[in-house]
Structures are given as structure tokens and as C-alpha cells.
Amino acid sequence: MTLIKSISGIRGTIGGAVGENLTPIDAVKFAAAYGTWLKQYRNKDIYRVVIGRDARISGEMIQQLVMQTLVGMGIHVIDLDLSTTPTVEMAVPMEHADGGIILTASHNPKQWNALKLLDQKGEFLDAQEGAKILAFAESDALEFAAVDDLGKITRNDAYIDLHIEEILDLEFVDQKAIKAEKFKVVVDGVNSTGGIAIPRLLEELGVDVIKLYCEPTGHFPHNPEPLKEHLTDLSKKVVEERADLGIVVDPDVDRLAFMDEKGEMFGEEYTLVAVADYILGKKKGNTVSNMSSTRALRDVTEKHGGTYQASAVGEVNVVKMMKDTNAVIGGEGNGGIIYPVLHYGRDALVGVAFFLTHLAEKRMTVSALRATYPSYFMSKNKIELTPELDVDLLLKKMAENYAGDEINTIDGVKIDFAEEWVHLRKSNTEPIIRIYTEAQTQDKADKLAKKIMKEIETIANS
């Protein structure tokens, strides 16, 4: 098992040895390090932090450890309890808090959990500030409050509803148009907090909701990453119910994927493409996604007269480039929508509202909408890391092997060919190397991936 410290937070498996897994002692240590950083970063008299969690089994235990640690440092806590990542991100500035912590391991299986750390804007910390927290965790600088100065915990269950209200008030969400279409939608909430938030949003939009795995028990009924091979039950349910579409989110509701009326995947990569197409049709501007995302976003952006740019992988990197380029919409190809008017964070709820408005205006089926976009096909693969594998050297050799092609090394190695690309990088969230390829047919994408993986294996064994 493992403990991963990165710009995506402190992530690990529950149980096992201290320092090697996310044990109670590690949860307390990193919560205290965050509290120490917060006091230095904000430098004021009274501190407040928003805490929320997804429904995974270890969530309540980790939440209590984190909250009580902050209380012990004299920091007041606003406890959202079961919530979503984008809801916590919105709650931080709405509460005028100094920061936030989301307890979720996103798409990872049930044995994982994590502390995702936010600043006073409700945005993820950059690498520089994250490094300070890691340094505090390993230092002797952690100090706690005297008995008369302990923090307090205040429970607030209203924020999912407040989040939905903010979405319904957005200029480009047309509640009347959606209601008029009388959509029937199947929702797979993977037995986490998406099962609370997404049906509630849909009901407000006048949609007929059929719930599948929407009880927030934390017992994930399938692998929680919203990929085609994990969603056979959703596919069957959409067809059985003659639904207009299916919706699936990951456990903390920042990733979003759709299924068409035939029970076929719309394509997780195309969540952002479709939403961007809708927004750019209303408001001209630029877009950003990460380097591992489909070229289709570039094509759609240029169709609307905007400029597309690719950032390093990681939400904080996408957000920075969006701010630098004044992008009107952005996100990641894993189904993450970032709409700056609402907040700078991936948000499945706003993605649902925009997609349904887009669909209502187009007056077409989900499969017909998908056919209007450029067709690219991706192959997403991974290689498990071993202690003896020198990832940096491996990536360097791969870049050298393709020096005659267009190479980008800001995040691993991306090799752009005329009609296809491959991106190799060490994951921020798992002990793996990710190998993403994209081409104009699935067969070509798969063949390119196999070729690259064989080359990696050769280098690793040499």
C-alpha cells in the first residue's frame, strides 16, 4: 500500500504502517501541518476552515480526526459532513473562511482516502504552498492551542442546496427549456454523495429521475472511476427505462460522464467538449484543458473563433492557465468542467445543468449530439511502478527516441504526431505511469499505446 503526497493532496490507503499509508496518525499530522500553514499564510486572529467529505467508509473517521486536530489548534470548523468537492470549494468563499479540506480519494477504490487542501478562495493549493505543508508535517513546528483558545465546530447542511441555487441562477442555465423537454434520466451515484446532489439538482430542473446506486453508504457497487467498462448496470438501466440519457459521477462529484439513449457512452472526454461548445456559442472566448485531453476541444474552440491551450495535468495547473488566458470555460478530459463565473473548480453539477440546456436547445438525442463533434478515440493505459524503475530516466529516454517529433516535457513527455499523440506521465494520485494515446480510430489509438508500452518495457529492462 502507499501514501502519495502531491498537488492533488495527501492520499493513501487506510490501515497499515504510519508514514506508508493514510493512518489516523498521518491524518492528524497532515491536518496539523495544514493548520500551521494556514496561520502563517493568513496571519490573523481568528481562523475558520470548511470541511466536507464523500461517503466512503473511512470518511467519518478521517473527518473526525481532521476536525478535532484543527480544533486543537484553535481553528474553528464549518462541518458540511456529506458533501461534494465543488460544494466545499464554493462554501469556502461563501463562508468567508480561510481555507477548506475535502476528504475524498476521488475515483480511487474504497480502501483509499485523502485530504484535498484549499486556500481562502476555495481553490487547490499550488505546488509551492503544498511543499510548505509537507515541510511542516516533517518538522517540530506544530503548535496547539491552550484550553481556553480551542476552536469550535459548527454544522451546516445547507450548502448542497445553496450550490444548486447558484447554478440555477446562472445566465446560461435555462430551467424552463429543460423542464419543457420532460427528460427522463438515470443517475448512477456510485453510492456516494453524487447520489444526494445530482438527483436534487435534476428535480429542481424538472427532470424525471431514476436513481441507481444513490444511497450514500460508501459501498461502491463497481469501480468508482466513471469509465465504460464499469458502467454496464447503468447502460442496461437506460435502455430498460427508455431514458433520454444516463449520468454518472465519481464519489466526490467533480467528474462527469454521460450515456446516450442507446446505453452507449457519450465519451468522458466529450463532456467538456459539449459543454464548451454550448458556452462558446453564447459567449466568445478561450478554453483550456490539460495535455492528456482530447484534441476535439481545440477543434470546437477554433470553430467558435477562440484560442485553445493545454496545461500540465492537475486542476491547479488548468486553473492557473485559465486565469492567464482569461478562458471562459475549461477543465480536464476526465469529465471535469470548470466554469469561472461559478467558481474555479471541476464541478459535475454545473456540467449537468449546461449539458441539459444544450440538449434542450438542440432538440436532438444524445447520440445525435455526439455525432456533431469531431471523432477522436483515446486509449488510456497504465504501468504499475516498482521501486527499481527510474521514471525520470525512462521518460528522458523516450523523449530522446522521438526527438525528431514535436515534444512537450512540461508534464512528463507528450509526443505530437500529425494525426495522433501520446502522453506519458507519472500519476499524481496513484503509483503508476499513465500512457494516454489519441488517434482518429480506436484501433490506431490502441496500436500506438501497445507500441509505446513495448518501448517502455524495453527501456526498463535494459
Which pLDDT does position 160 carry in this prediction? 98
The secondary structure of residue 441, as a DSSP letter, is S
At residue 56, the pLDDT reads 97
pLDDT tens-digit readout, 119-152 = 999 999 988 999 999 999 999 889 999 999 999 9
Helical pair 159-168 and 85-94, crossing angle rounded to 10 deg: 90
Last-in-domain residue among 351, 370, 389: 370
Q: What is the pLDDT of residues 61-110, one digit of tens each?
A: 999 999 999 999 999 999 999 999 999 999 999 999 999 999 999 999 99
Write the Ramachandran bin of 48: left for phi over 0, alpha for psi from -120 to 50, otherwise beta. Answer: beta
Which of residues 336, 370, 404 is at a domain's end? 370
pLDDT at residue 316, rounded to an integer: 93
The Cα 202–Cα 175 span in angstroms is 10
Q: Over pLDDT 70: what percentage of the chain?
A: 99
Q: What is the rounded average pLDDT for all residues in the chain? A: 95
Reported confidence tier of residue 8, pLDDT bands at 50, 70, 90: low
Q: Which of 262, 269, 37 is nearest to 137 (CA)?
A: 37
Mean pLDDT in residue range 434-444 = 95
Single pTM value for the model: 0.93
Please state the rounded mean pLDDT for residues 187-201. 98
Ordered DSSP codes for 120-182? TTS-B--HHHHHHHHHHHTSS------GGG---EEE---HHHHHHHHHHTSTT--HHHHHHHT
Domain that holds residue 22: 3-157
* pLDDT at 431 exceeding the cut of 80: no
**320 and 393 belong to one structural domain:** no
Shared-domain flag, residues 149 and 168: no
Same domain, residue pair 185 and 239 = yes
Residue 261: CATH number of its domain: 3.40.120.10
List for the chain the helix, strand, coil content (%; round to 5): 40, 25, 35
Helix (H, G, I), strand (E, B) or coil at 293: coil
> Where residue 271 falls among pLDDT bands split at 50, 70, 90?
very high
**In the block, residue with C-alpha cell 469561472:** 340
One domain for residues 298 and 442: no
Q: Given the DSSP bridges, would you call strands 406-408 and 413-416 parallel, antiparallel or unpaired? A: antiparallel
- At residue 306 the predicted structure's pLDDT band, cuts being 50, 70 and 90, is very high
Last residue of a domain, one of 102, 123, 157: 157
Mean pLDDT value of segment 155-167: 98
Count of domains for the chain: 3
What's the whole-number mean pLDDT along residues 164-179? 98
CA contacts within 13 A on the Cβ side of 20: 4
Amino acid at 374: P
- Residue 426 pLDDT > 90, yes or no? no
pLDDT at 6: 76
Asked whether residue 391 falls in the same domain as residue 355, the answer is: no
Regarding whether 199 and 60 lie in a shared domain, the answer is no
What pLDDT does 387 receive? 78
Of 43, 313, 317, 4, nearest in space to 134 by CA: 4
Across the range 181-207, mean pLDDT stands at 98
Do 89 and 150 lie in one domain? The reply is yes
Same domain, 310 and 446: no
Judge whether residue 1 has pLDDT over 80.
no
Q: Which of 8, 58, 83, 106 is catalytic?
A: 106
Rounded Cα gap, residues 412 and 406, in angstroms: 14
Regarding whether 363 and 220 lie in a shared domain, the answer is: yes
Same domain, 303 and 177: yes
Q: Is 80 exceeded by the pLDDT of residue 457?
A: yes
Any alpha helices (H) in 182-331, and if so which ranges?
A: 194-204, 232-240, 269-282, 296-303, 315-325
pLDDT score, position 9: 81
Task: Calculate mean pLDDT across residues 151-157.
Answer: 98
Per the DSSP assignment, residues forming a β-bridge with 379 are 437
- Look up 106 and say whether it is catalytic: yes
